[in-house]
Amino acid sequence: MNNYDPTMAYTLALAIREAYRKYSNNHYVINLPGWTVKDFIYVFEAEEAGYVYFGFTATGNIAPYPNLVALRGTQTGEEGLDDIDFTFTDCVLPSTGGQSYGQVAQGAYDFYVDNDEGLVTSLADSFKNAIGNLDGSRFEWYIGGHSLGGAMATLGALDAVVSGSYNNSNVRPKLYTYGSMYVGDQTFVSSFGKNGITEVYRVANLADWVPGFTGIVADTPGYAHVGLDCTYLWQTGGDWANHSLENNYLACVKQYRDVIKFGPRKYPQ
């Protein structure tokens, strides 16, 4: 289904930028005009000796008053280590007592579900607690994430639906990712359509190496991306610049939205 919304693509990218800024400065007040922030989302990281800010939820102030979730990308060493572990593992959602939804990257899955044997709140629980506080009568809700945040948004969208965490089981999230890492195999990908999550938009710069990465030594075969390819080509001054949320992805969906093409496409076409 291609109901890609350029306005929401830009809004979600703005929200993710605000999530990055909040991480960088705990006293920063999120500035997202037209939206009211509801809850913050945290992940526990042992190397950071506590809970680390990862994103937020917000409610729109203009009809139809949609809800959104914004998740930032990699910022710490611990997150970077999880980014590079593409060993396959069983994707059980929810992680305790749930069902299997194919195979996913060990690093991404562990980062999402790890709760240190129940001693701390996991990112999954923080995410689901936050969306559980949103008003389910608002019939549209969106999840956006960049890089590692895109992977977490992908896992979170499926987890939210199969666990019934959102306060309206009849409404499915609309997912927008930006430069997202690979998450799982084709069985995992197919789980989205089977659970009614049909609006997934994978915004990717074809010059960005992160969406194609599946292993530090050699590529791990068997990965597939979730969602409709929404791609563009913007070769800038360096590999990390090609992956930048603020200077590349946000700039594209704001200023050059007409260059985005939909459907399968390979670099440099």
Q: Find the distance separating the first CA and the last CA of the chain, reported in whole Å.
A: 23
> CA–CA separation, 248 vs 246, rounded Å?
6
User: Could you give the number of structural domains in the chain?
Assistant: 1
Q: Is residue 267 part of a domain?
A: no
Q: Is residue 68 part of a domain?
A: yes
Q: Is residue 143 part of a domain?
A: yes
Q: Is residue 227 part of a domain?
A: yes
Q: pLDDT for 1-38, tens place per residue?
A: 799 999 999 999 999 999 999 999 999 999 999 999 99
- pLDDT at residue 36 in the model: 97
Q: Is residue 174 part of a domain?
A: yes
Domain span holding position 181: 6-262
Distance of CA 109 to the CA centre of its chain: 13
DSSP 29: P
- pLDDT at residue 201 in the model: 98
- pLDDT at residue 119 in the model: 64
Place of tokens 């990862």: 54
Element (H, E) at 51: strand 50-60
The enclosing domain of 63 has a CATH number of 3.40.50.1820
CA angle 191, 58, 115 (to 5 degrees): 55
Q: Is residue 224 part of a domain?
A: yes
- Along the 269 residues of the chain, how does pLDDT read in single tens digits? 799 999 999 999 999 999 999 999 999 999 999 999 999 999 999 888 899 999 999 999 998 999 999 999 999 999 999 999 999 999 999 999 999 999 999 999 999 998 765 668 999 999 999 999 999 988 899 999 999 999 999 999 999 999 999 999 999 999 999 999 999 999 999 999 999 999 999 999 999 999 999 998 889 999 999 999 999 999 987 889 999 999 999 999 999 999 999 999 877 65
- pLDDT at residue 268 in the model: 63
